[in-house]
Chain A
């Protein structure tokens, strides 16, 4: 039996994988395609299809997530439009780099190495912060107020950057004022990574909006998602022109992630994110390790390492999304027991 040209087993695998990623996306506001693209690469899809389909998947998921954040008033449209301008140029440059590297036959290796460095670096940072027990590290505080930002909550790097008065200065929500050129520079770099790696860029851009520009975390998340709608849409369109988007991959992934995103979003009001931040860091490290293992397998011709790599990716996503669901159910049961009469 085939669905969309996929075997039933593959279709179920994609829906299930989308479900796991959707939970992560809904809960953390990031964590979409950095798992999808490596998984597709591990499964043997050409680099262009893995990157293009990853972008198309992120586009669809971000549309759903942005609609939910818009309802909560967490989108700064002015900042979002400026980010789109810088990101558009960055994506085009990133895509050209991938196409050039493909002609040299080096695209897969270089993208993989970049993934390992980025995921490993961010994963190590998040895990370190979580184990240190510092809750004020820029993670998503779902309860943070959507008003003017407290000066104490602005990271030191952002304060330093905001002190550079390079006109024109742009006023943003939360009472933040930043140079237009800085916003465009951050947008360009994240767009370049988005086009190059085939990721929405959320796991890079959201911390950048908070740490470098200094906007409150809830607005950083909502604006980031709004921007991903356009960057993901444009990126996937450019890849679709070159035959890089495979609907048989995107549609089942999206069917799963749309449901998972609702579960993850609902969990944000139940679970304290600090409890499972360490799992998120470990998931990023697992993703980095998976790509590294695959590359070693390719270099030395050890096929079994490809399977090990895929298991690591799926296992990492399963671990964290499972932790979110388990913590939610546990919290609900405790709530039910405490509210029931003795």
Chain B
């Protein structure tokens, strides 16, 4: 006989795990875009400062 409770529990565990990994992926995407925008906005200015120009 199929243990439906155990099957449902495993499915819920998979969804929780996928959500955890999805959260990491979402943060990575946001950071890539966010830091990219910061680099575009301030990158040249920082390099010029470091060069003493």
A145 within 8 A of B: no
Q: Which residues of B contact A3 (CB under 8 A)?
A: none
B43: min CB distance to chain A, Å: 8
Closest chain A residue, CB of each to CB of B47 = A332
Residues from 237 to 266 in A contacting B, C-beta threshold 8 Å: 237, 240-241, 245, 247, 250-251, 254-255, 258-259, 262, 266
Q: Taking chain A's interface residues, is the majority helix, strand, or loop, or is none over half, making it mixed?
A: helix
A207 within 8 A of B: no
Q: Which residues of B contact A59 (CB under 8 A)?
A: 21, 24-25, 28
Instruction: Report whether A258 and B35 are in contact in the complex, using a CB–CB cutoff of 8 Å.
Output: yes
Instruction: Report whether B23 and A247 are in contact in the complex, using a CB–CB cutoff of 8 Å.
Output: yes
Closest chain A residue, CB of each to CB of B52 = A336
- Mark B15-53 against chain A: 1 for CB-CB distance below 8 A, else 0: 011101101110111011001100100010001001111
Q: Which residues of A contact B53 (CB under 8 A)?
A: 336, 340
Instruction: Report whether A241 and B27 are in contact in the complex, using a CB–CB cutoff of 8 Å.
Output: no
Q: Which residues of B contact A56 (CB under 8 A)?
A: 20-21, 24
Closest chain B residue, CB of each to CB of A246 = B20
Q: Taking chain B's interface residues, is the majority helix, strand, or loop, or is none over half, making it mixed?
A: helix
Known: A63-B32, A64-B28, A340-B53. 16 other contacts (CB 8 A): A57-B24, A63-B25, A63-B29, A236-B20, A240-B16, A240-B20, A240-B21, A241-B17, A247-B23, A251-B23, A254-B28, A255-B31, A258-B32, A262-B36, A262-B39, A266-B43
Chain A residues in the interface with B (C-beta under 8 A): 56-57, 59-61, 63-64, 67, 233, 236-237, 240-241, 245, 247, 250-251, 254-255, 258-259, 262, 266, 329, 332-333, 335-337, 339-340
